[in-house]
Amino acid sequence: MCGIAGIIGNQATPEVISKMLQKQKHRGPDFMDYYIEERNVALGHNRLSIIDLSSNANQPFTSDCGNFVLIFNGEIYNYIEIRNELKFKYSFKTQSDTEVLLNAFIEWGENCLEKLNGMFSFAIWNKKEQTFFAARDRFGVKPFYYFFDQNNFYFASEINTIFEADVIKKSNENVWLKFFSEGSYGLPNETFWESINQLPGGHFLIFKNNKLDIKKWYFFENRVQLLFDRSDKNEEDYITQLLLKAINLRFRADVPVGFNLSGGLDSSTLLALIDQQNIDKSAVEAFTFVCNDERYDELQWVKSMLNDRPFHLNICPLSSSEIPKLSQKMALYQMEPYGGIPTLAYSKIFETASQKGIKVLLDGQGSDEAWAGYDYYLNNNQNVIQGVANSPFKTNVLDSDFANQFSKTIYDKPFEDNLLNLQYRDLFYTKIPRALRFNDRVSMLYGTELREPFLDYDLVEYVFSRPTDFKIKGGVQKWMLRKIAEKFLQQDLVLAPKRPLQTPQREWLSDDLKEWVRTEVEKLYKNNWFNKSELENELNSFFNGNNQSSFHIWQWINTAQLLE
């Protein structure tokens, strides 16, 4: 995993590309370089070495013919299989997935994307045809931001990198309004900044002769439709093999690999599947965070899960006193709103892993969306916030003229089944896109790579296509996953209910951090999006005990930090 950046146009100079790469050097501390055709094209790369640690695999990477230049962020997990398919036609001078990716593109063009099992965001410059091609993985695990002003096309792995090229920073008011009104973090092609767009997951773009063309390449809906009528003789065994294969592929690395643990079913299943791998388990590190609050910490569950297993546990504490400084730092690197104190607690895992020299971590992201694990799936309601009984949105604090511009986001519903449409929304519009963005920035801030085995596309497609009673049966969610987990886990872990990441956010914001919260939120009093008196009333109400939800408080803190 790395960072990519570049410019197509007259701003393609050594000075500009160097500034951009320097801004995201945390993404790739091992090597930094760029390819340039001055005033025409600049492609830059920050390398975090994971596969083939030699300098031969450094990027930008040029093809043997000299015509193609590649920069690549991510991992192609099945690079060995693709290399074997290409080896009779191409000679390989490295052991890297980078070289495999470039030769795959030369051989199959955009059709190579269908062959890739991985997380990726990459760009290729064709010198002869003066054509720029870029693509993003199926679910958008790896980021690709861009700005096009008719004179220059800028792109990068992080928003700040593009702003470093003197692109004007202007709020996208429509996205901010939807964030305040319905908890949306924008559509897959949007950001919170008017000038910056995203290439959506499962799409590619071609830029030539100052024209930008974006196309979809991953048609999840069509692939799932083909699977509806398919059933394996033993579904449980077949899905178990898909799970084991997903884990096995994500252990391909030339550096130490670890994994993240909480006390829930997803983590315990991940642990059990890792335990089935033919690896040196004593070299695999486990990580969990704690906030030193018995009401929330899951350490006893985690220790129970690890009992009699050889994995060394690293406990990563977060205290309330760290929040002011850490939250400001995270806002600076996310450059968009992020998920509260749980995200900050999660960051302690990556900080600890980095200090220990663990460059790759696995976690359980994606299981809830594929297996229908959120509570609102039970009654098919349209919530986007898990575990909140009443609406967490306080639209009364918004200026009336601003609030009246709101229009509810309408999501695609490609399936006849309501549950499938909810899952589809969460996979491609709400839960997964925002979680992947949070996690990419948090992990890369500390130069660590996060891999998501439960988002293996073969696994997601097949599980998604299964009948409802594979996912929810007798009111029990993730039914088949629990049945599979029974083979490997103790019963109390198999039956564990869905729990969000556990932190005392509500208590800290209303007590320990009360004065800091007030100072941050008061920064919004002069902002014309807000009604000062209503904002003040809601803040005082929270401090006076009306604090069952702290979602809106974190929204305001986040906003104040990002807009100052």
| 109 CB-contact burial (10 Å; exposed 0-12 / middle 13-18 / buried 19+) | exposed
Closest CA to 72 of 5, 13, 14: 5
Positions marked catalytic: 2
Q: How far apart are CA 437 and CA 440, in angstroms?
A: 5
pTM for this predicted structure: 0.95
C-alpha distances in Å from residue 523, one per residue of 86, 253, 312, 532, 561:
58, 46, 44, 10, 9
Kind and range of the H or E run holding 159: helix 159-163
CATH code for the part of the protein at 3-218: 3.60.20.10
SS3 (DSSP) at 121: strand
Query: CB under 8 Å to 224, separation ≥6 — which residues?
Result: 415, 461, 464, 465
Could you confirm whether domain 221-494 is CATH 3.40.50.620?
yes
CB atoms within 10 A of CB 562: 18
What are the extents of the domains in the chain? 3-218, 221-494, 505-563
**Angle at CA of residue 235, ends 487 and 483, nearest 5°:** 30
**Per-residue model confidence as pLDDT tens for the chain (564 residues):** 699 999 999 999 999 999 999 999 999 999 999 999 998 999 999 999 999 999 999 999 999 999 999 999 999 999 999 999 999 999 999 999 999 999 999 999 999 999 999 999 999 999 999 999 999 999 999 999 999 998 999 999 999 999 999 999 999 999 999 999 999 999 999 999 999 999 999 999 999 999 999 999 999 999 999 999 888 779 999 999 999 999 999 999 999 999 999 988 899 999 999 999 999 998 999 999 999 998 889 898 899 889 889 999 999 999 999 999 999 999 999 999 999 999 999 999 999 999 999 999 999 999 999 999 999 998 766 665 554 556 679 999 999 999 999 999 999 999 999 999 999 999 999 999 999 999 999 999 999 999 999 999 999 999 999 999 999 999 999 999 999 998 887 776 676 666 666 799 999 999 999 999 999 999 999 999 999 999 999 999 999 998 888 999 999 999 999 998
Per-residue burial over 472-501, b = 16 or more CB atoms within 10 Å of its CB, e = otherwise? beeeebbbbbbbbbeebbeeebbebebeeb
Spatial separation of the C-alpha atoms in residues 72 and 59, rounded to whole Å = 8
User: Three-class SS of residue 396?
Assistant: helix
Contact 7, 132 (CB under 8 A): no
DSSP symbols for 11-59: T--HHHHHHHHHHTGGG-BTEEEEEEETTTEEEEEEE---S--SGGG-S
254 is in an annotated binding site: no
Phi, psi at residue 473, to the nearest 5°?
A: -140, 125
